[in-house]
A and B are shown apart, each in its own frame.
Chain A
Amino acid sequence: DTAVSQTPKYLVTQMGNDKSIKCEQNLGHDTMYWYKQDSKKFLKIMFSYNNKELIINETVPNRFSPKSPDKAHLNLHINSLELGDSAVYFCASSHETSGDNEQFFGPGTRLTVL
């Protein structure tokens, strides 16, 4: 049974389009995250949510809007996609918000903007 799942695994789209990535965790965790991993493998946090409330927003453009319908789901919607948005996006979850406990990562969504 997958702990943190993301859909889709691959996403290829044209510049200017709007797309969403879905994430679900079945671990009963209160905190969920979105990370961006660029072509050089650098992993950077974008957002974190605790029980549907935004905790961290790391100077991400307004075109990125996370949505948390409940504490088991954190979706990422991206408007007006740009070439620089091409990356692998990882969803993660953890038991607590403090940052000092294990984070469980999903398998990633590879986004390619043409």
Chain B
Amino acid sequence: GENVEQHPSTLSVQEGDSAVIKCTYSDSASNYFPWYKQELGKGPQLIIDIRSNVGEKKDQRIAVTLNKTAKHFSLHITETQPEDSAVYFCAASSDYKLSFGAGTTVTVRA
């Protein structure tokens, strides 16, 4: 089955700086890579996703890149704000299911 590894497990950044989270996956058949944000006491919420036929996607301050050859994808958050503090999960889709990374706790320092 699919195995998704995510780094770092924790990330502390100064407000206004950028944050980068990296993930690798094992199943070359995976074709969909979403990123979810989970705020304290809430369920995960999709913030951006990318499909295997695209190398990069951007939505305002958030961007995702995908390298299918190397089987890794990354989330980039620019100009971080306090409301970006949360747990972020990457995931990869194969065999009708999502396999999630272990999560990254992002703390934005004011």
A105/B44 in contact, CB under 8 A: yes
Contacts of B97 in A (CB 8 A): 45, 48, 56, 58, 99
Q: How far is the CB of A31 from chain B (nearest CB, A)?
A: 9
With A43-B44, A105-B43, A105-B45 already in contact, the answer to whether A99 and B98 are too (CB < 8 A) is yes
Do B42 and A43 touch (CB < 8 A)? no
Q: Is A45 within 8 A of B98, CB to CB?
A: yes
Q: Are B32 and A100 in contact (CB under 8 A)?
A: yes
Chain A nearest Cβ from B79, distance in angstroms: 25
In the assembled complex, the Cα of A7 lies from the Cα of B102 at a distance in Å of 26
The distance in angstroms between the C-alpha atoms of A58 and B95, with both chains bound, is: 12
Residues of A within 8 A of B25 (CB): none
Point out which of A92, A100, A101 has the most chain B C-beta atoms below 10 A from its C-beta.
Answer: A100
Interface of A is mostly: loop
Residues of B with Cβ closer than 8 Å to A?
A: 31-32, 34, 36, 38, 41-46, 49, 51, 87, 89, 93-100, 102-103, 105
Nearest B residue (CB) for A97: B96
Known: A90-B43, A100-B31. A41 touches B96 (CB 8 A): no
Whether A4 sits at the interface, judged by CB under 8 Å, is yes
Q: Is the interface of B mostly helix, strand, loop or mixed?
A: strand
| Contact partners of B36 in chain A: CB under 8 A | 105
By a CB distance below 8 angstroms, the chain B residues around A56 are 96-97
CB-CB under 8 A from A4, the residues of chain B are 43
Cβ–Cβ < 8 Å partners of B45 in chain A: 105
Interchain CB contact under 8 A, A106 and B43: yes
| Cβ–Cβ < 8 Å partners of A106 in chain B | 43
Closest to B94 in A: A99
Cα A107 to Cα B36 in complex, Å, equals 14
Docked complex Cα distance between A100 and B98 (Å): 8
A103 touches B96 (CB 8 A): no
> Is A114 positioned at the interface, with any CB of B under 8 Å from its CB?
no
- Tell me which residues across on chain A come within 8 A of B34, comparing CB atoms: 102-103
Does A100 contact B51, Cβ atoms closer than 8 Å? yes
B31: A residues at CB distance < 8 A? 100
Q: Which of A42, A90, A102 is the one whose CB lies under 8 Å from B46?
A: A102
